Amino acid sequence: MSRSRTVVVLTALLLVATVPLGFVVSASASTSVHHATHAPPGTNALTADSTARPGTHGGPTPSGVFIGAEYADIDEAPGSTTVRSYSRYDGSNPLDNVTRAKIFATVGDEPGLSLSALSERTEIPRSTVRYHVRILEEEGLVETATVRGKRRVHPAGNDNPELAASLSDDSTAELLETVARDGPASVSDLADALDRTPGTVSYHLERLADDGLIERERAGNAVVTTLTDGVAAAMETAENAVDAD
């Protein structure tokens, strides 16, 4: 066999050997391109997969599902699976939501509770309480004020959030109620009446004085505590309302 013929035969064999390899490479590239077309323009395969929802066979999440997440009105009452959108502009009743109605009722019963205390009273997660309080506040049903370093919630129209906060605290509430019932009293008198140490009573009286709810004046050797006029009137009104019920 001549040398030129040998070169031709070897060239033909090389061509035959490379055809399948080229076909495989081409097919793989085609497959990759085919799968890539499922991703939205400007995204990669990982981004496309992250939009899929379980049970939708990899389809993208419908547009708008998460856009209004801030207003997703999840009712966390036991056994409830209600998910509704809420808007203050569409005539919706904010108290149709059982969870929000429970929070509102608790605020009415115990004005001045902090968000954490509301969460404990209602057994609703604090983040959920915060969300519903925001809606109630936007609707003008409750108001919030920071008292003693905590954000506290009280019914709208309450012009003394400090008093509401103090009445929601057992320690300060007992002192206010004792002075309202028994009249001006010294630290030792209040300590005896409440079975507390004079130091504990003095501490809570200082808090009440800082909030402008009581007045403390020296009478002889003792410092006597009295309620301010506004607090005395408010507590008398509240007591009369309870008696009427």
Give residue 168's pLDDT. 85
| pLDDT at residue 62 greater than cutoff 70 | no
Reported as a pLDDT band with limits 50, 70 and 90, residue 148 is: confident
pTM: 0.55
List, in order, residues 6 or more apart from 182 with CB less than 8 Å away. Answer: 189, 193
Decide if pLDDT at 123 tops 80: yes
Phi, psi of 68 (to 5 degrees): -100, 30
Phi and psi angles of residue 171, each rounded to the nearest 5 degrees, phi first: -65, -50
* Per-residue pLDDT tens digits for 22-43: 444 444 444 443 443 333 444 4
Confidence bin at 8 (pLDDT 50/70/90): low
Q: What is the pLDDT of residues 187-236, one digit of tens each?
A: 999 999 999 999 999 999 998 998 889 999 988 888 899 999 888 888 88
The residue ranking higher by pLDDT, 185 or 72, is 185
- The domains found in the chain, sorted by start residue, are 70-158 (1.10.10.10), 169-244 (1.10.10.10)
Across residues 141-164, what is the average pLDDT? Answer: 88
| Residue pointed to by tokens 């108290």 | 95
Cα 86 from Cα 153, distance rounded (Å): 21
CA atoms within 13 A on the CB side of 45: 5
Mean pLDDT of the 62-70 span: 37
CA distance 8 to 14: 10
Q: Torsion angle of alpha carbons 68, 70, 75, 80, nearest 10°?
A: 50
Question: Residue 144 belongs to what H/E stretch?
Answer: strand 142-147
> Helix-strand-coil percent breakdown of the chain, rounded to 5?
55, 15, 30
Confidence of residue 160 (pLDDT cuts 50, 70, 90): confident
Q: What is the C-alpha to C-alpha distance for residues 179 and 151, in angstroms, rounded to an integer? A: 27
Cβ neighbours of residue 95 under 8 Å, at least 6 residues apart?
101, 104, 141
Q: How confident is the model at residue 64 (pLDDT cuts 50, 70, 90)?
A: very low
pLDDT at 190: 94
Residue 121 pLDDT > 90 = yes
Phi, psi of 216 (to 5 degrees): -125, 125
Distance between CA 201 and CA 209 in Å, rounded?
Answer: 12
